[in-house]
Structure 1
């Protein structure tokens, strides 16, 4: 029995800072990543432009190197407990993110999220080429959530989203419960609730109250 889904952003939500800034420690381009992400946050760069610029720094690196480096990715507390709460309450936990797909894949393996999305880096002969194989923007993020809900057979009103920034706004407008977590003013304005905390479990009272409004599915 599935009652709904909960979509979690990664950068700025599950991570105190962005995964890209963390991975810059591997790539050696922290200043460039900071400038690119500031441009996206300010709206002067599109997600497509930001991804193309970030991808260049990945040239010659390997997925194995990236996965190993992601083991030290800084994360908020309470992720495992929140995912378990979702599954215990028949809610499917899903990552909906603009972080590179390797970041989502890593967190799915580590915390048992159901699936993930995101832009994908091109790989040639086992190494990243420095190009983007698949782009992904905030509208695609929303569309991904819609497709997941359709596949699960649940109405979007039976879905919740937890995020912190610009890329979450379109998704916030489609779900039954939108929680701005340590969020920007833009995300807070689009959300139905706001939480500031270092522990993801702080969203559970809001999710619990929202879940009480969703009818149990018929057998």
Structure 2
């Protein structure tokens, strides 16, 4: 439990939000040899023609035999928006606990949490045995799990949903957008923009700070 200095939490999506123009899975699939196939599957998910389970199982097959320790080196080259370090620092300083909730694989969430200082992360998990991925999914995680994990993080922090914000860009953010006080569509799809309270566009995550600042002021 955090001190009373923490007045809320802010949940950040990864793919399309912190990772612009692509997804971490498609980026990593470039090393694994199935980038084009996965990109088409993710487009089908965005349009509603595939569900998250189908996309995850397709992607996981390409990970078979890959050493777990190899992933962090690949992720050092992951394209990211500017301003993540500063936005996370501002969140802590302003009384908002920054948390990653994402459909990106858990190695991605773990990497970004350690690199930028997020409080925690939630996401799907690849199965691994003896230090290598098996090509199977250990834990599926869809847009509703994303919402439930975010609300669980809030509860564990002693926070109500009305004290929380979510920053995201796509279909996977819609259930969470509907469950928190402030929803921010960042460089978002049309459906995310329609569902969000506020829309922000730009190449720097710090663009969301004025909106979050107003929530902090109102919460206090």
TM class, shorter-length: over 0.9
Per-residue deviation, 1:167: 0.3
Q: 1:33 Cα deviation (Å)?
A: 1.1
Which of the numbers 140, 149, 153 marks the counterpart of 1:135? 140
- Residue number in structure 2 paired with 1:115: 120
**What's the Cα RMSD here?**
0.7
Q: Which runs of 4+ in 1 moved over 4 A?
A: none
Match of 1:11 in 2: 15
Gaps (5+ residues) in structure 1?
none
Residue 101 of structure 1 is matched in structure 2 by 106
Matched, 1:70 2:97: no
What aligned pairs does 1:191-210 form with structure 2 within 5 A after superposition?
191-210=196-215
TM-score, length basis structure 2: 0.96
User: In the alignment, does 2:89 pair up with 1:89?
Assistant: no
- Structure 2: stretches of 5+ with no match in the other structure: none
Contact 2:44 2:50 in 1 (8 A): yes
Number of aligned positions between the proteins: 215
Partner of 1:58: 63
TM norm structure 1: 0.97
Per the TM alignment, residue 155 of structure 1 is displaced from its structure 2 partner at its CA by 1.0
Counterpart in the other structure of 2:131: 126
- Give the CA deviation at 1:64: 1.2
Per-residue CA distance 1:75-125 (angstroms, 9 max, x = gap): 000000000000001110000100001100000010010110111000012
SS in 1 for 2:145: helix
Matching residue within 140, 148, 156 for 2:153: 148
